[in-house]
Amino acid sequence: AETGYLQYEISNFSKPGFESRHNVKYWRMEPVFGFGMSAHSFDGRERYANTRSTDEFIRLVETRESPEIMRETIDLASETAFLGLRLEMGIELDGYRRSFGSDIFDSYGERLVELIDAGLLERGDSRLRLTRKGKLLSNEVFAVFV
């Protein structure tokens, strides 16, 4: 903090206003569109990827076929929870409720309370976020949502 860098995400620091917009789009579940070989995209509901093979990509494009090799519909509530927890600000609980029609504690309540009691999560100011200890053991927290 003495140098002006603040933690804004579990593994990233920046000066205010210089956060990676690319990464933050992922953590906030915003659409990301990739084009070309090996590109990955997320349209707000599904995640998909193109082939990594240069030869295969060229062949598919030349024959006007899709280079897409993977498409999956994701569990938006689960992904919003664990990706949101990567951010220093955590999850905005009212926003989660508006987006998914239920309180996050209705879906994950007992497990979240255990994580709060273990000092890995904290609830306050209408947010749920990782503690310092929770950042070190974040995979333990994220496992609740997958």
Q: pLDDT digit string (tens) for 113-123?
A: 999 999 999 99
Model pTM score: 0.83
pLDDT for residue 107 is more than 70: yes
* Residue 1 confidence (pLDDT): 65
Burial class (CB in 10 A: 0-12, 13-18, 19+), 80: buried
For the chain, domains (ranges, CATH) are 6-73 (no CATH), 76-145 (1.10.10.920)
* Residue 2 confidence (pLDDT): 82
**What tokens appear for 2 in the block?**
């003495």
Rounded distance between C-alpha atoms, residue 116 and residue 92, angstroms? 16
Sequence-distant (≥ 6) Cβ neighbours of residue 61 within 8 angstroms: 67
